[in-house]
Amino acid sequence: MKPLSTERRALLAFAISMVLFVAYDALYLGPRMKAQRERAEAAARLKSQQEAAKEPGGATGDSTSATAPGGSASVNTALTSPDSLGERPEKKIVVASPIYEFTLSSRGGEVVSAKLLRYLTDGKPVELIPPGESWSGRRMLAVSLKSDAGTLPLDGVSFDVSSGSVALEDGARVVISGDKTAEIVFRAQTASGIIERTYRFHADSYDLEATVRASDAVFTGAQDVAWTFGPGIGPTEASVADDQMAFKGSALLGQEFHRKRPAAFGRDRVEKYSGTLSWATLQTKYFLAAIYPDEPTRADVEMTGMKQTHHISQTVSVPMKTAASELKQSMHVYLGPLDYKLLVATGVGLERNVEMGWKPIRPVSSAIMWSMKKLYHFIPNYGVVVIIISILTKVLFYRLTHKSFKSMKQLQDLQPRLQALKEKFGSDKKRLSEETMRLYKEAGVNPLGGCLPMVLQMPVFIALFNVFRYTIELRGAPFVGWINDLSRQDVLFQLPITLPLIGNAVSLLPLIMGGAMFAQSKLGQSPTGQTSSAVPPGFNTLLPIVFTFLFYKMPSGLVIYWIINTVMSVAQQYYIVKSHSTTPVAVVIDPPKKSGRAKSRKS
C-alpha cells in the first residue's frame, strides 16, 4: 500500500477533526445542554409553585439569624419591639426614573429588582437580578453587622419605609426625572435602639449611595458591616450560554487585581482576599454591579461561585465608623450597563471591567471606541459606522498589507528556484540554507516580509474584535433589513429542525464571509499560477469552511467587519496579481561534473 503524503495526511486530519467536532456536538454537547435547560425549567416551575403556595409576606418570626454566602457564622439575636419587626407583611417600593426602575423590599431593606429601561431583551427591559429564590440565600445588597463574636444579618428585619416626610406603603412608586434625587429611608425601632438603611437615587445616573446606621447597643461590639451581592446578576441576553461565558467577579485591593469566573470554582466554593478596597464588581457580557467606598479602605472580600450553575457573588466587609453611640457605614453602588464613559465618570477605575483586551491593546480599543461614538453623532447607524471603521482600518494599513501581499508573491515566484536548490543540496542542510539565503538576497526578497506586516497589525485586529464583540453601544443596534441587533447573530429565518453546529437559525452574513474568504484563498494560492509547496492541497478550501462555522453564531457587527476586511483584501490582492504578473520561471539543473561544478540555465 502506498504511504500517504504529508499533504494528504494534513487533509485527512482536517476531515477527521470536522467529523469529531460534529459528532461531539450532536451526541454529547447537544443532549447535555438540552438536559440542563430541562432541569432549569423544572426548577423554575417548582419555585413558582412554592412561592404561590406561600402566605403573603411569609412567617419568619422575629429572629434575624442567617448564614451569609461563604459560610460565615451567625448570631441568633432577637430584635424585640412592640412592632414585632420580623412578622409584618413585606412592602415593595419602586423607585423609577427615565433610565431605570428599582424595587426595594421592606424586608431587610434590600434590592429585589433592577430594570434598565433603555436596554431591552425580547422587547422587555433588562432585569439584572435573577427572579425567584436566591441561590446564595441572600438578596442584592443584603447587609450584616459583624463583631468578633459573630455576624448579625439584617435580612429578616421589617422596616418602616419613608421618603422625606411621607410614609410609603406596599406598591408605592417614587418617580424622579431630570437632575432630581430621591432618598428612601428604611427604619426599624428596637428595644436596644434604631436600625436604619438609606438609599439615595439620582434620576440621571445608575450610581446610588447606600448607608447603614445603627445604635451601638443593637449589636454590642459591632466593628464591620458586610455588603453582599446576594444572587449576583442573572443572564440578560437571548443567548444565555454566550452571556454566561462572560460572567465574572472582580475586586481591586490596593495594587492587586483579583478576577474569577464561575468555572474557576471547584469543591471549595469560596475565595477570600484582604486589602485596601477600591471596588468589587460582578459582570455579565454587557452589564455590571459594583460597590465601592468614598475612598479606598481596608476590606475583606469573599467571592462565592458555583461552576455547574454559572453563579457567582461577592461579600465585602468594611469597617463601620463609630460616633456618639452610633455605628455608620456608607458605600456607592452601581447597577447598570458596562458603558465605558459612564464608568470613567465614577472616578474609581470601574472602566477596567470593560472588555478591551490585554493592557497593551486597551489604548487601541479605547481609540476605536471613541472613533465609533464620534462617527455615530454624524451617522446614527452603527452598522454603517462599523463599515466605515473597517474601511478606515484597511486604508490605514494599506501600505503594510500591500508590502505583505507583494512579498508573498515574490516568495511564490521563487518557488521553482527554491525547489531546484532542494533537489541539488537536499542532503547538505548547511549548504542548502546558505544558498537559500543567497537567493533571497539576490532577488531582494525578505522571507519574513509576508508575515511581519501582518504581525504589526494584530494589536488593531484584536482591539477591533473586542470592541465589536463586547461594546454595549452595538447591543440592540439595528443595521438594515433582517439585521436588527449588531450584537447578536443575524437570523434570516428559522428552520423547523436543529442542525449540528449551526442550530435552527439560518444566517446569511457568515455565508457571505465564507464566500469572500474562499475567493481570497483562490487568489492567495498562487498569484503566478504556481502552487506553493508549503500549503497542503485542500487547505485553502477547508479554511473558509472552518471560519464560516466559527463565525456562524458570532455578533453580526463582528461578521460585517470581517466581510468588509476580506472583500477589500481580495480587491487589493487581485490588483497586485494583475499589476505584477510575471511569466513562470523554469529552472533546469545540469548533472554535476567531476569537478563538482553544476551549471544552471534558465529557459
The predicted-structure confidence for 71-80, as pLDDT tens digits, reads as follows: 443 444 434 3
Supply the pLDDT for residue 104: 98
Helix (H, G, I), strand (E, B) or coil at 434: helix
Residue 475, in any domain of the structure: yes
Asked if 455 and 381 sit in the same domain, the reply is: yes
Count of domains observed in the chain: 2
Interatomic CA distance for residues 142 and 145, integer angstroms? 11
Residue 339, in any domain of the structure: yes
Asked if 346 and 368 sit in the same domain, the reply is: no
Q: Is the pLDDT of residue 525 over 90?
A: no
> In terms of Cα–Cα distance, which of 68, 60, 48 is closest to 90?
60
Residue 553 DSSP class: T
Q: Number of helices and strands (H, E) in the chain?
A: 13, 25
> In terms of Cα–Cα distance, which of 243, 232, 219, 49 is closest to 147?
219
- Given strand 92-96, what is the order of strands in its sheet? 124-127, 111-121, 100-105, 92-96, 173-175
pTM: 0.76
Q: Is 54 exposed, middle or buried (0-12, 13-18, 19+ CB in 10 A)?
A: exposed
pLDDT band at 46 (very low <50, low <70, confident <90, very high): very low
Contact 205, 339 (CB under 8 A): no
Asked if 305 and 422 sit in the same domain, the reply is: no
**Among the residues of 293-361, which ranges form H helices?**
340-345
Interatomic CA distance for residues 260 and 273, integer angstroms? 12
Report which listed range, 36-40, 185-189, 437-441, is most confident.
185-189
Q: Is the pLDDT of residue 240 over 80?
A: yes
Task: Name which residue leads in pLDDT, 156 or 104.
Answer: 104
Mean pLDDT of all residues in the chain? 81
Domain boundaries, position 344: 58-71+78-354
The predicted-structure confidence for 474-524, as pLDDT tens digits, reads as follows: 999 999 999 999 988 999 999 999 888 888 999 999 999 999 998 888 776
Helix (H, G, I), strand (E, B) or coil at 358: coil
Asked if 441 and 524 sit in the same domain, the reply is: yes
Q: Is the pLDDT of residue 184 over 80?
A: yes
Asked if 396 and 338 sit in the same domain, the reply is: no
Asked if 294 and 373 sit in the same domain, the reply is: no
Asked if 282 and 415 sit in the same domain, the reply is: no
Q: Is the pLDDT of residue 589 over 60?
A: no
Residue 590, in any domain of the structure: no
Please give the average per-residue pLDDT across 240-252, as a whole number. Answer: 93
pLDDT band at 90 (very low <50, low <70, confident <90, very high): very high
Asked if 368 and 283 sit in the same domain, the reply is: no
Please give the average per-residue pLDDT across 191-217, as a whole number. Answer: 95
Interatomic CA distance for residues 132 and 123, integer angstroms? 21
CB atoms within 10 A of CB 176: 16
Lowest mean pLDDT among 20-29, 47-56, 317-326: 47-56
Last residue of a domain, one of 319, 354, 389: 354
**Among the residues of 26-149, which ranges form H helices?**
30-53
- Helix-helix angle 6-24:539-551, to 10 degrees: 20
Asked if 342 and 289 sit in the same domain, the reply is: yes
Rounded to the nearest 5 degrees, what angle is found at the Cα of 232, between the Cα atoms of 231 and 237? 115
Please give the average per-residue pLDDT across 294-301, as a whole number. Answer: 96
Please give the average per-residue pLDDT across 346-357, as a whole number. Answer: 93
Interatomic CA distance for residues 569 and 488, integer angstroms? 25
Asked if 405 and 368 sit in the same domain, the reply is: yes
Please give the average per-residue pLDDT across 350-369, as a whole number. Answer: 90
Please give the average per-residue pLDDT across 95-113, as a whole number. Answer: 97
Last residue of a domain, one of 336, 354, 372: 354
Asked if 290 and 172 sit in the same domain, the reply is: yes
Last residue of a domain, one of 308, 335, 354: 354
Lowest mean pLDDT among 48-52, 144-148, 173-177, 493-497: 48-52
The predicted-structure confidence for 418-465, as pLDDT tens digits, reads as follows: 788 888 877 778 888 888 888 877 777 776 655 666 677 788 888 888
- For 407, 411, 528, the CA distances from 447, given in Å and listed in that order, are 8, 7, 18
Residue 62, in any domain of the structure: yes
Q: Is the pLDDT of residue 8 over 90?
A: no
Asked if 166 and 246 sit in the same domain, the reply is: yes
| Long-range own/partner contacts, residues 25-34 (CB < 8 A, 24 or more apart) | 25/500, 25/501, 26/500, 30/498, 30/500, 33/241
Task: Name which residue leads in pLDDT, 103 or 156.
Answer: 103
Lowest mean pLDDT among 230-239, 460-469, 537-546: 537-546
Domain CATH code at residue 139: 2.70.98.90
